[in-house]
Amino acid sequence: MAARVWRSSIRDALFKKLKSGPVGGGFAPRLASTAAGTRAAPKIPPPPRKGRLLTGTMIGLAIAGGAYVSTADEATFCGWLFKATKFLNPFFALLDPEVAHRLAVSAASHGLVPREKRPDPAILGLEVWGRKFTNPIGLAAGFDKNAEAVEGLLGLGFGFVEVGSVTPIPQEGNPKPRIFRLRQEGAIINRCGFNSEGIVVVAKRLGAQHGKRKMEETSSSLSSSGDEVKQGGKAGPGILGVNLGKNKTSEDAAADYVQGVHTLSQYADYLVINVSSPNTPGLRKLQGRKQLKDLVKKVQAARDEMQWAEEGPPPLLVKIAPDLSKQDLDDIAAVALALRLDGLIISNTTVSRPDPVSRHPLAGESGGLSGKPLFDLSTNILKEMYILTRGKIPLIGCGGVSSGEDAYKKIRAGATLVQLYTAFAYGGPALIPQIKSELAECLERDGFKSVQEAVGADCR
């Protein structure tokens, strides 16, 4: 029965996409979506020869999958599908980074990516903000800037997905080229500059998805006690975060963030104030003690004045930079504790060029550096912030995570949850189950019974 269902799904998806014309799918090095302004994003056809090669590979994988599934159980076939995505990475490496990214988002939005059917290891489950995460591994903001592929991305097995940054008014972002691969270093430099379709478009997408989920819940015969911690979030299985940004030309940053809260918070399981992108002039000044305090107060007030059900408003987090002084960190920690901020994301990209990037020909390109060279810098800042906040505020560790061991180090340094992006861009969907498996092994190896037990272990 399972085999017939899998064969039917593959056949239907394949025929549907072939009838509607060429589409791109898969994952490989890419970062940030294509620029979008007041006009709809143009369709970008892949180069003829590369496009044919990619389509042929996808068809071959689908045919091979149809043959394989007849002799495999669902879990085994699921594992095969994730491993098979590795074959697509070299083809995407041939494409321009933004074209590759656009195709990847399209693939996830159209269901042309694997769907995780296997349960996460029990040791990875944890509760944060009254929500149950099946695992602590999330996708950072920047990949799905406009909330086009939330369902497909959560289906890959992430414990949570963060969309955005979303600006109030659509904006193009910075001129191209603005993304540079440093493949040998496992890094990327980008200066995209909050390219966004705007909160109205994103709200429509999230609203449609939210309505679909509510209809499914209503039609379901399953019922749960009001005392139970809610499984999953507003986007379905998995937790959805919404990252808010400001427009480049805006003179009132607080008004931009407040507008984002009023429009998008009803669809979010948590909200993020992004004050740390290096690609929007003046944005990082909002991390100063007085500026941050005033901003957070206004955003919290905007959120709290809205009508909320029993579960209350979504948690509010702030995403900070790794390029901060000791005094900056002291100030941010003081504001976070005084205003009872719900969490911090540590960290955004860096404007520094640590070794070995400093010797790379592209090191002189302006923009934020992400990937492996950021790991030590961001982890040190994470550990320092955990100590300054005395472990009272949930922290999300982000920056340079490319393995389960990396995720484990972030957790031991104080992270309750962990995000990745650049490694996912290079490694594709196959990296997700690998990281979760490796993280579970690390926890068990050191005698921890849960993620929560390991949080901040290196700071005790």
52 in Cβ contact with 126 (< 8 Å): no
Please tell me the distance from the alpha carbon of residue 299 to that of residue 16, in angstroms, as a whole number: 44
296 in Cβ contact with 343 (< 8 Å): no
Looking at residue 43, the DSSP 8-state letter turns out to be P
436 in Cβ contact with 124 (< 8 Å): yes
Burial state string for 15-24 with b = 16 or more CB within 10 A and e = fewer than 16: eebeeeeebb
Count, residues in the chain: 460
Expressed in angstroms, the distance from the first to the final Cα of the chain is: 52
Please tell me the distance from the alpha carbon of residue 209 to that of residue 153, in angstroms, as a whole number: 13
| CA 154 to mean position of chain CA atoms | 10
Using alpha carbons only, give the angle 140, 392, 319 rounded to the nearest 5 degrees. Answer: 30
Task: Please say if 33 is a catalytic residue.
Answer: no
Please tell me the distance from the alpha carbon of residue 397 to that of residue 320, in angstroms, as a whole number: 11
Strand-strand pairing, 187-190 and 179-182: antiparallel
Given 33, 276, 277, 370, the catalytic residue = 277
Q: Position 262: which residue type?
A: H
Please tell me the distance from the alpha carbon of residue 435 to that of residue 88, in angstroms, as a whole number: 19
List the catalytic residues.
277
